[in-house]
Amino acid sequence: MKEIFKNSKKFKPRIKARIRKNRQILGKNIDNFFDWIKGAELVELKECSTNEDPVRPELDNVFRRSYGRKIYGVKYGGEIHAVMCFAYTNKIPKNVVELDKFSHDAFLQSAQRDQKVGKIAIAYTVWSKKRGGGKLIVKEVFKKIKKSNHLNRLVTLSPLTDMATKFHTKNGAKLLQINETTQNFEYQVEKK
């Protein structure tokens, strides 16, 4: 029995060293895994690969760029790693038909006034090709909205899925309403 106890003392420093080394390797790998986020930038896109959109692939690029609607991407290393499409409105839509109508109305109203389209940014689709991209694009678009002069709300037009619910609540959004085929979450915009 004494021999077993004696031998276990010899192994303890080795085990501790191996654990320390594995922690260092794991830490470096995690840092490298998310390194791309530090160098990524938010860019406005003229188009996106709509067939990659898991939420609304049926909406073509003409829809996504008409009447003040925008497509933004997170670009890193010459590649787009996340995409978010949104529309400017003055009302919160409950479906894509209302989104189209409300963004069209806001666009026409702005043409007659101050050229500032809508007061609400409606994010109607977001997807990521790389881990961490979805959260990053929400954060970057959120910053852009905070800096704008005319936008005072960021609201989603999300599908009725657990994934959408978890994504938005995890990123700080509050559920506004549940509609027949969609749900709306709001990210609190506090202007400085």
Per-residue pLDDT tens over the stretch 125-136: 999 988 888 888
Q: Give CA–CA dist 183/177, Å, rounded.
A: 6
CA angle 17, 23, 28 (to 5 degrees): 130
Cβ neighbours of residue 151 closer than 8 Å, sequence gap 6 or more? 88, 118, 119, 120, 121, 145, 189
Give the pLDDT confidence of 67-116 residue by residue, as tens digits: 989 999 999 888 899 999 989 999 999 999 999 999 999 998 877 665 56
State whether residue 132 is helix, strand or coil: coil
pLDDT recorded at residue 36 = 52
d(CA 33, CA 65): 33
- What is the pTM assigned to this prediction? 0.75
pLDDT exceeds cutoff 80 at 66: yes
